[in-house]
Amino acid sequence: MRRVGLSGLLGRRPAKAGEGIDHIDELMGALITQVVICLLKINAICWPELSRIAHLAPSYEDLRPS
Protein backbone atom coordinates (compact mmCIF):
# COMPACT_ATOMS: atom_id res chain seq x y z
CA MET A 1 0.00 0.00 0.00
CA ARG A 2 1.29 3.45 -0.85
CA ARG A 3 2.02 5.68 2.10
CA VAL A 4 0.14 8.96 2.13
CA GLY A 5 1.41 11.90 4.14
CA LEU A 6 -0.83 14.61 5.52
CA SER A 7 0.96 17.23 3.47
CA GLY A 8 0.47 15.02 0.42
CA LEU A 9 -3.26 14.90 1.11
CA LEU A 10 -3.28 18.68 1.31
CA GLY A 11 -1.50 18.91 -2.04
CA ARG A 12 1.64 20.64 -0.79
CA ARG A 13 4.29 18.06 -1.67
CA PRO A 14 4.64 14.30 -1.85
CA ALA A 15 5.32 12.49 1.40
CA LYS A 16 8.89 11.42 2.03
CA ALA A 17 9.81 7.97 3.30
CA GLY A 18 9.00 7.55 6.98
CA GLU A 19 6.71 10.54 7.41
CA GLY A 20 3.52 9.15 5.91
CA ILE A 21 0.68 7.09 7.30
CA ASP A 22 -0.39 3.64 6.21
CA HIS A 23 -4.15 3.96 6.51
CA ILE A 24 -6.72 6.73 6.38
CA ASP A 25 -8.07 5.38 9.70
CA GLU A 26 -4.87 6.53 11.41
CA LEU A 27 -5.27 9.99 9.92
CA MET A 28 -8.89 10.25 11.01
CA GLY A 29 -8.03 8.99 14.50
CA ALA A 30 -5.31 11.62 14.82
CA LEU A 31 -7.64 14.34 13.55
CA ILE A 32 -10.42 13.38 15.97
CA THR A 33 -7.91 13.29 18.83
CA GLN A 34 -6.71 16.80 18.00
CA VAL A 35 -10.30 18.10 17.80
CA VAL A 36 -11.15 16.60 21.20
CA ILE A 37 -8.00 18.09 22.75
CA CYS A 38 -8.88 21.48 21.26
CA LEU A 39 -12.44 21.28 22.63
CA LEU A 40 -11.13 20.34 26.07
CA LYS A 41 -8.79 23.33 26.03
CA ILE A 42 -11.63 25.65 25.00
CA ASN A 43 -13.81 24.17 27.75
CA ALA A 44 -11.05 24.70 30.33
CA ILE A 45 -10.66 28.32 29.26
CA CYS A 46 -14.37 29.11 29.03
CA TRP A 47 -15.68 27.11 31.99
CA PRO A 48 -15.34 29.93 34.57
CA GLU A 49 -17.22 32.26 32.23
CA LEU A 50 -19.94 29.69 31.54
CA SER A 51 -20.47 28.93 35.22
CA ARG A 52 -20.95 32.64 35.94
CA ILE A 53 -23.73 33.02 33.36
CA ALA A 54 -25.34 29.59 33.80
CA HIS A 55 -28.06 31.04 36.03
CA LEU A 56 -29.21 33.21 33.11
CA ALA A 57 -30.06 30.20 30.95
CA PRO A 58 -33.72 29.12 30.92
CA SER A 59 -34.52 26.09 33.03
CA TYR A 60 -36.06 22.89 31.72
CA GLU A 61 -39.44 23.88 33.13
CA ASP A 62 -39.32 27.19 31.24
CA LEU A 63 -38.71 25.39 27.95
CA ARG A 64 -41.44 22.76 28.30
CA PRO A 65 -44.52 23.32 26.16
CA SER A 66 -47.60 24.40 28.13
> Which pLDDT value is given to residue 3?
55
The strand pairing partners of 37, in sequence order, are: none
> Which pLDDT value is given to residue 30?
82
For residue 12, what are the CA distances in angstroms to 6, 7, 26?
Answer: 9, 5, 20
The tens place of each residue's pLDDT in the chain, 66 residues long, gives: 455 555 555 555 555 666 565 677 778 888 888 888 888 887 777 776 666 666 666 666 666 666
> Which pLDDT value is given to residue 42?
79
> Which pLDDT value is given to residue 31?
87
> Which pLDDT value is given to residue 18?
61
**DSSP at 59:** P
